[in-house]
Amino acid sequence: MHVVIFGASGMVGDGVLLECLENHRITSVLVVVRSSCGRRHPRLTEILHADFYDYAVIQSRIAGLDACFFTLGTSAAGKDEATYRHVTYDLTLAAARAMVSPRLTFCYVSGAGTDSTERGRMMWARVKGATENALLRMPFKAAFMLRPGLILPLKGVRSKTPAYRWAYTALGPILPLLRRIAPDRITTTVAVGRAMIALALHGYAKPILDPDDINKAAVIGG
């Protein structure tokens, strides 16, 4: 299976990349990033690309693949709805339209609490819901929306956001306990990566996966 990852320089994307490189069923991994993901591997090819709203110059290089694992995302904090929609909906759909194919499985990391009705009070949830709905309407082989809650970084993966790194460090001693008492709300970078691989290879019973679904799918993709 030949896959492309968007956002491999971020925490979630890096975790997904590691799982792909460790899985013998992944023949090749292409990553599209603004700056280098910092990893090297015989099956890894990196494309440095500046404009994530226009893929014309790399169109031929991202065509004919089996799966896209889209992990790009940003916080809505401090943004109005138009700005957040541009960096979420418009950015995601630009990549999806450049790659749309009946042989491609598109996996999108969304978020717990996303509003599929697009009419709720939370701005970010409406925008994420609109993004999910648009992806689900596109003529892919399949499309899956992953809605993780708290994602724990494993295998040395770290967030590039200082505040998040501080939070993970502070919560470190109690994270194992949280995983035991709330397994349906917590997942890991390993589980997200393995779940995406499983979705691309085998599909899933429903197109929208909550943390518990992600963890279940990860068992298949491990």
pLDDT digit string (tens) for the chain, length 222 residues = 999 999 999 999 999 999 999 999 999 999 999 999 999 999 999 999 999 999 999 999 999 999 999 999 998 999 999 999 999 999 999 999 999 999 999 999 999 999 999 999 999 999 999 999 999 999 999 999 999 988 888 887 876 665 555 556 666 677 667 767 766 778 999 999 999 999 999 999 999 999 999 999 999 866
Give 145's strand partners.
108, 208
Query: pTM of the predicted model, to two decimals?
Result: 0.92
Could you give the CA distance from residue 197 to residue 45 in angstroms, rounded to a whole number?
18
Label residue 142 exposed, middle or buried (CB < 10 Å: 0-12, 13-18, 19+). Answer: middle
The CATH number given to whatever domain includes residue 80 is 3.40.50.720
- Name the burial class of residue 119, with classes exposed (0-12), middle (13-18) and buried (19+) by CB atoms within 10 angstroms of its CB: exposed
Structural domain total, the chain: 1
Q: Which domain holds residue 144?
A: 2-221
